[in-house]
Amino acid sequence: MALAVRPLSYALGAEVLDVDLSRPLTESRFGEIYRAFLDHGILLLRGQKISREQHIEFSRRFGELDRHDSLPRDRHPEYPELLMVSNLPQPDGAPSNSRYTGQLWHSDLSFTLMPSLGSLLRGVEVPPVGGDTMFANMYLAYDALSAGMKGLIADLHGVHSPERKNAGMSPEWEKENRLLNPPVAQPVVRVHPETGRKALYIGEKVKAFEGMTDEESVPLIDYLIRHSTRPQFLYRHQWRPDDIVIWDNRCTMHVALGDYDPTLRRHMERTTVMGTPSGHVASDAVAH
């Protein structure tokens, strides 16, 4: 029987039906899942009561997994393939380092020289209301630009920083983050290595274009982000416990909305599939 999927929105995304990741998955069935991943940009699998080991095992079928060396304080101490996206306090009672993770429009690991192919996020504990994640289809965003704008941005490189919406983060975390992750320049227009389609590669971690000042860059960056996040390009995911959402970082960007009571528990666990090399360390002129 062919894989059953249900569209999640006009712009992107599909729910995969009748797949239980706690049971063995044939190569043929995984091939169908991967084709749906390329076709839809986001896949949702609900009700997946799986272990951490099963989460990692399934994720590895998409490719080699990142061990999150660029974010060592956020990974699980026993499972470095798992990034904790959590507001639960640390063992010593200190606030979670990752409580603000994702609250800027971004694509995962864009600030590294090996941006992510895809991410698989599992909802372990979610608030009853809010804590949503929004996704943007960057193929559609690029396609909707005028010919003049496409020409203007064709050769630009955006400088991506590891910035986080991190009010209250420790100075030690900030220093470590800057040392581990120097600013990286990525092409503003990337060609998807599997589909061959062009997509915008922009987000709120881009502070300037290489070879341009911040003042020159910001108006165009702001426009491209506003353009990419128009309602017709978006899908908003409302989390349920045991959801797994898989997204293609090469043609989407996303944001965690933070739209929930912060006294409630929100704990997610993410695997990150490594992609192909991209970008270069930014020139000193803009790496500040």
Question: What is the Cα–Cα distance from 40 to 42, expressed in whole angstroms?
Answer: 5
Question: What is the Cα–Cα distance from 279 to 256, expressed in whole angstroms?
Answer: 25
Residue type, 22: S
Supply the residues annotated as catalytic.
Answer: 106, 108, 254, 270
Question: What is the Cα–Cα distance from 288 to 161, expressed in whole angstroms?
Answer: 9
Residue 255 neighbours by CB distance under 10 Å: 20
